[in-house]
Amino acid sequence: MARPPARPAGEKSTREQILDVALELFTANGYEKTSLREIAERMNFSKAALYYHFASKDDILLALHLRLHEIGQAGLERIEMDRVRPADWVRMIDEFVDLLLENRQLFMFHLRNHAALENLQNHEHDGANQDIEERARRLLSDPGIPQARRLRLSFALGAVMIGLVMSGDLFASTPTEELRVELRSVVRDILEPGGVSPDADRESSQLLPR
């Protein structure tokens, strides 16, 4: 049997295209009000073809939810790489902010379909939750980093993550670049009070004559 032609580099698979269409519809209209037929019609194929890739609408919902977990894991991995160097945390959280804002629609989908997502029962979903929580706890409990610095990192991460969640749709129309500037400013206010990194200040004081 002849193999299907390879996709050009960078071209999304049919599965990923379905998820992109579902993300748009679930965000705009809500999970409950979006039918599989609507998704199939937007893809220009039948519901039977859709079932080839996803057994149910719940499977599509779960796949989109796991996209969000992948983003969270990627961000935590960036921070965790150099977690013994608190002076680098501002730069790494800046990268995390960029990652979040590149996926604003995914966060809006999550917020607008919270009730449907709460009903998901899947071991893969539960495992992803536990993995993210474990990574965060390991980072914030490292005894090699002063507790005050770990607290500030916790507050900075909370300001970024919880702030976006609690604000919900309030800032949906705010330009991404404006949100980026404000989030980065908040992170600096928390990690570098007064505009000076505590670690840099400590290092400088060690160089002063006694």
Side-chain-facing half-sphere of 12: CA atoms under 13 Å: 8
Q: Residue range 172-197: average pLDDT?
A: 85
Q: What is the pTM of this model?
A: 0.65
Q: Residue range 138-146: average pLDDT?
A: 81
Domains of the chain and any CATH numbers: 55-196 (1.10.357)
Condensed to tens digits (0 to 9), the pLDDT of residues 81-121 reads 545 477 788 888 888 888 888 888 888 888 888 888 888 76
